[in-house]
Structure 1
Amino acid sequence: MAVTTKKINIRTLSQEELISVLEKIGEKKFRAKQVYEWIWKKGVHSFDQMRNISKKVVEYLDEQYFIDSIIISDEQQSNDGTIKCAFKSHDNHITEGVLIPTTSRITACISSQVGCSLACKFCATGRLKLMRNLTAGEIYDQVLLLTRSSEQEFGKPLSNIVFMGMGEPLLNYKNMIAGIDKITSEQGLGISPKRITVSTAGIAKMIKKLGDDKVKFNLALSLHAANDEKRSKIMEINDSNNLEVLADALRHFYDQTGSRVTFEYIIFKDFNDSLADARELADYCKNLPVKINIIEYNPIDDGEFQQADKRKVDAFAAFLESLNLVVNIRRSRGKDIDAACGQLANKNGAIALKERSLKK
């Protein structure tokens, strides 16, 4: 058999394409379906782990293809039960994900990119250089690994998935959508799209594309300020995607999907925590079908921003609720292991302390 100079990522093939590949070497359709199940449902990271596949097929696949799987290279557990995982890719890039248990749910927070290009001032991840997009398979693997960790540690499968880890999902649109397709497919993990939330810093044209594609998962917007001057100060993306442009995109998304958007509002001391800020937020929400998550800030190394006083946070939320807005206050989890919102920066990921494959 001829050996290709560059192997192809087998997880870029659909099941139909894989059937065609194996039929060319004389295999039946059921063999391709078995291989496909090993790749996705069982999550193997090498062809020789496929125990019911002939040596001939394994050798052919190994010559022509590779599996872009990831492994857990490091794992830390917080005092509150939160688990942070450093994931290592086949080309030795590190990204991070978090498993967040509560009494009512277990949430996996996953990444879409290695690093990030948006440089939001309050976010540790934004200080990392963007190395590359994660593939659909790598996005899928994070969920597969975290659901296995959930079952092992807490005796329960995942209940929710949030794209709130490293990177901007809408700047990796194709792979993000393909990864979610596999996560929700019966040929994959079979998780309902209604249990998935994609969070964006605000890429208006891609928010509109989500609407045009009539996606079934939930959308969250990292807002953090309801006037352009303040938002641009902390999020450069606002210079090209201002609040008016974003409002138009969000209305289009709702019109196409019927899905209400969540505003994420990290509240900073003496920056966006006043009742005047709450009034601006309420005014911005007037013509948008939204709910609001007020998020406790997790300080990062330079101390430019600080956590708002609890009394001001409560007053801020109460003001919004008095105007009949749906508001939740989200307290931080995993702060002691740098696993809380905005803290993912590969501090523990540079050196692999232990490795664990997809197959346990």
Structure 2
Amino acid sequence: MKILVTGGAGYIGSATSAELIAAGHQVVVFDNLYQGHRQAVPAEAAFVQGDLSSRADVARLFAEHPGIDGIMHFASYTLVGESMQQPLLYLRDNLVNAANLLEAAVAAGVRRFILSSTANLFDDPAKMPIDEHERIVPGSPYGESKFFIERTLHWFERIYGLRYACMRYFNASGDAPERGEDHDPETHLIPLILQVALGQREQITIFGDDYPTPDGTCVRDYVHVADLAQAHILAMESLDRLGSRKYNLGNGSGFSVMEVLDAARRVTGHPIPHVVGPRRPGDPATLVASSESIRRELGWRPRYPDIETIMRSAWEWHRAHPHGYGE
């Protein structure tokens, strides 16, 4: 298939583009390079620089690359904390950008759409791990914006016949030798920890160690980015057979902040000093997603399920690229 990957120069989008190409698909990457990196785009992919907020850019994309069979939509503002400070950047821009893309997609005859959604839809889960039947209570304007897009896809299927899958997950993690995680600013735990091992910061702060978890620190679900990419591809390839779907993606058992930190110490051989700070408002003790549905329906199995393997892949990339794509 010919697949359009929006945000394909970003962390998850570029990894998915590479996996798509390895699976024999043709890839077109569309990215404004706001957080993405041109160097992360696989050489075999066609690259179009543009912004989803510009309907002219989107029209040019589909005019230059006709015959797109499916879309994987990663392009988005994605920072929960930022969304609490600039809600319209998420509630307006994320939705408008997706609407521009969807409008052009159905006009071009695209029949398949995969949304990179979020498990931030579930801020107050009744049970753990969180499955697809859990009630939706978005935890931030970011989560709300993804829910808006999920609802838009519902209506685009009813009106235009666009089949879709919504992929909901918490913490993408790990790297490949050719491409890795490089954000500015960096907010994710694993690269922040590795910056200490690289001598780029003095210590890591753990926000609270008195939660009702085995070691007192928050437990989160970490899934290797290559496993997430495979899940997106399986979902795309199954749409004609199974129809529209919503999948939660997780390892099934989370890892605490201290477990992640200890794994980094073992992998890097660095002491990685840490301090304990106060809890952050709104941080639940445990958030773990259930992937039972996608395992059962599509046969998805994470290839890198343990935190030490995830950490080792991240350390190898960050050690080789201590300044990210800037070096």
TM beyond 0.5: no
TM-score, length-scaled by structure 2? 0.35
